[in-house]
């Protein structure tokens, strides 16, 4: 697997763990940090993994849709996707833009997230 493909798969594993709450396949560096809207929300790899597994902030997410990823010329993976949140009948979703930086072993060293307020979204919306 090419380096870019492996990095995209690592980012996808993180995004999938937002729904599954199983961070076991997410290659987090022990010193990984996560920043959300300019505020540090993950202080290290173990903290981020625990948050993915048990964090109440992620329990509202019931699906990820429209995942897209690209790798820039310095190896940062840039993703966009929608998080679909409870309650399901309201069809609320928020667009998320997340960037992932990696170490030389392919582990995630930093995650930077930006997102909007959940809004009503039809399945065909983009």
Q: Give the pLDDT band (50/70/90) at residue 93.
A: very high
pLDDT at 123: 57
Q: What is the mean pLDDT of residues 100-117?
A: 96
pLDDT at 95: 96
- Is 30 a member of any domain? yes
pLDDT at 1: 72
pLDDT at 121: 81
Reported as a single tens digit per residue, the pLDDT across 17-45 is 999 999 999 999 999 999 999 999 999 99
- Is 67 a member of any domain? yes
Total domains, the chain: 1
- Is 126 a member of any domain? no
Other C-beta atoms lying within 10 Å of the C-beta of residue 37: 9
- Is 121 a member of any domain? no
d(CA 4, CA 108): 13
**Is 94 within 8 Å of 85 (Cβ atoms)?**
yes
Reported as a single tens digit per residue, the pLDDT across 117-126 is 889 986 555 5
Range of the domain at 88: 3-116
Whole-number percent of the chain with pLDDT over 70: 96
- Is 124 a member of any domain? no
CATH code, domain with 79: 3.10.450.50
- Is 19 a member of any domain? yes
Phi, psi of 50 (to 5 degrees): -60, -40
- Is 9 a member of any domain? yes
d(CA 69, CA 73): 14
- Is 40 a member of any domain? yes
């Amino acid at each position: 697997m090419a380096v870019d493909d492996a990095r995209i798969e690592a980012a996808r594993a993180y995004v999938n763990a937002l729904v599954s709450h199983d961070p076991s396949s997410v290659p987090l560096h022990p010193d990984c940090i996560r920043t959300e809207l300019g505020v540090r929300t993950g202080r290290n790899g173990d903290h981020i993994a625990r948050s993915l597994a048990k964090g109440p902030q992620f329990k509202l997410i019931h699906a990820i849709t429209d995942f897209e990823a690209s790798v820039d010329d310095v190896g940062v993976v840039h993703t966009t996707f929608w998080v679909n949140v409870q309650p399901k009948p309201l069809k609320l979703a928020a667009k998320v833009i997340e960037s992932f930086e990696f170490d030389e072993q392919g582990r995630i060293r930093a995650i930077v997230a930006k997102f909007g307020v959940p809004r009503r979204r039809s399945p065909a919306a983009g």
